[in-house]
């Protein structure tokens, strides 16, 4: 059996593969990666101490892989967005009609609040709520949030007009056209949607789900909401992983680096397949199946943990 490390540091290669695949899928599907990372090992009876440095180091690798895959998947978009950012800084204004520059700053103002909240409160929230029962409750709550997102779609002031306008606009799937549609968001809306990302600090609440819900609320289509959610998630997942990279490089990563590499490869592959699937899925489907799954999975897990 492929078990590496001492009794205190126990991640088998099988566990690395499962957790890596789980991370790659659940980070991008609107069903909460953190919630599943807390609930599933407990359901499988794995004795993993998720507060120990070795496990945190392992998670850094899987998150970094997910962020890299997201960045590569949307590489043409990121190149245009970064060029737009550079143009706007050079000209000291966002030129009218420069969708790339506007989208760049929408992503910046959307990332700052969630980044700040995460930096200041992530550790406290994790230590308070990162237990299987709380995660199961929040997973069920995530289901309700996704239901609400579908119910409240286009309910924000001006959202219905935007949605009608976007429906009249060319529905090309090429990313420059999609960026133009995303760039119709206002800065206040971007701050609101971005701040909502901080909800993902609660294990069980999905970053992708809550961001998509906010985007649907202000009038974006499901496909554009998914694209915006993935673009918004990339810098924050990447930055969080880079910030904790010393955990993996330092002594915390001793004995789990190879498992972390295996987990990261699995997470990356799963993330690539997931984002490809979801971008196609949301062309014609809604959040409702994920809402049903989260509600029932959360309640079922809660029943298992309580009784």
Closer by beta carbon to other proteins, 20 or else 110: 110
Closer by beta carbon to other proteins, 39 or else 94: 94
Q: Shortest Cβ distance from residue 119 to other proteins (Å)?
A: 4
Closer by beta carbon to other proteins, 44 or else 119: 119
3-state secondary structure 256-287: CHHHHHHHHHHHHHHHHHHHHHHHHHCCCCCC
Is residue 49 within 8 Å of residue 5, measured between CB atoms? no
Q: Shortest Cβ distance from residue 230 to other proteins (Å)?
A: 22
Binding site for other proteins (CB under 8 A): 88-89, 91-94, 108, 112, 115-116, 119-120, 243
Distances (CA, A) of 132 to 24, 202, 239, 241: 20, 12, 26, 23
Q: Shortest Cβ distance from residue 112 to other proteins (Å)?
A: 6
> Tokens for 166?
């976007």
Q: What is the DSSP letter of 204?
A: T
Is residue 130 within 8 Å of residue 37, measured between CB atoms? no
Q: Shortest Cβ distance from residue 133 to other proteins (Å)?
A: 28
Q: Shortest Cβ distance from residue 93 to other proteins (Å)?
A: 4
Closer by beta carbon to other proteins, 124 or else 280: 124
Q: Shortest Cβ distance from residue 70 to other proteins (Å)?
A: 21
Q: Other CB atoms closer than 10 Å to residue 35's CB: what's the count?
A: 32
Angle made by CA atoms 119, 182, 83, in degrees to the nearest 5: 75
Q: Which of 288, 274, 196, 261 is nearest to 16 (CA)?
A: 261
Q: Shortest Cβ distance from residue 233 to other proteins (Å)?
A: 17
Q: Other CB atoms closer than 10 Å to residue 241's CB: what's the count?
A: 22
**Facing residues of 12 across strands?**
3
Closer by beta carbon to other proteins, 122 or else 150: 122
Q: Shortest Cβ distance from residue 109 to other proteins (Å)?
A: 8
Closer by beta carbon to other proteins, 91 or else 173: 91
- What is the rounded CA–CA span in Å between residue 69 and residue 118? 22
Angle made by CA atoms 23, 116, 193, in degrees to the nearest 5: 70
Closer by beta carbon to other proteins, 127 or else 171: 127
Q: Shortest Cβ distance from residue 126 to other proteins (Å)?
A: 13
Is residue 169 within 8 Å of residue 220, measured between CB atoms? no
Closer by beta carbon to other proteins, 203 or else 235: 235
- What is the rounded CA–CA span in Å between residue 64 and residue 93? 33
Closer by beta carbon to other proteins, 18 or else 238: 238
- What is the rounded CA–CA span in Å between residue 11 and residue 20? 12
């Amino acid at each position: 059996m492929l078990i590496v490390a001492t009794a205190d540091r126990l991640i088998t290669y099988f566990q690395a593969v499962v957790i890596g695949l789980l991370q790659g899928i659940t980070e991008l599907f609107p069903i909460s990666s953190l919630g599943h990372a807390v609930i599933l090992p407990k359901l499988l009876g794995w004795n993993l101490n998720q507060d120990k440095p070795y496990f945190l180091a392992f998670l850094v690798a899987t998150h970094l892989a997910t962020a890299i895959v997201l960045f590569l998947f949307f590489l043409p978009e990121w190149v245009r967005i970064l060029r737009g950012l550079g143009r706007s800084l050079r000209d000291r204004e966002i030129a009218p009609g420069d969708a790339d520059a506007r989208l760049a700053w929408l992503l910046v103002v959307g990332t700052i609040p969630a980044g700040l909240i995460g930096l200041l409160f992530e550790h406290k929230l994790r230590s308070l709520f990162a237990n299987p029962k709380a995660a199961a409750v929040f997973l069920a709550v995530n289901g309700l949030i996704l239901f609400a997102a579908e119910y409240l779609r286009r309910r924000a002031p001006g959202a219905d007009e935007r949605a009608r306008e976007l429906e009249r606009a060319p529905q090309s799937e090429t990313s420059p056209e999609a960026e133009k549609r995303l760039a119709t968001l206002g800065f206040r809306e971007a701050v609101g949607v971005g701040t909502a990302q901080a909800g993902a600090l609660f294990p069980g609440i999905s970053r992708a789900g809550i961001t998509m819900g906010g985007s649907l609320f202000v009038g974006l289509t499901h496909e554009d909401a998914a694209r915006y959610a993935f673009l918004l998630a990339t810098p924050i997942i990447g930055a969080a992983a880079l910030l904790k990279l010393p955990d993996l490089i330092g002594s915390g990563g001793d004995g789990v680096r190879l498992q972390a590499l295996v987990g990261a490869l699995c997470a990356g592959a799963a993330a690539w397949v997931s984002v490809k699937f979801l971008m196609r899925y949301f062309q014609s489907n809604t959040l409702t199946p994920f809402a049903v799954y989260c509600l029932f999975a959360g309640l079922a897990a809660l029943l298992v943990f309580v009784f």
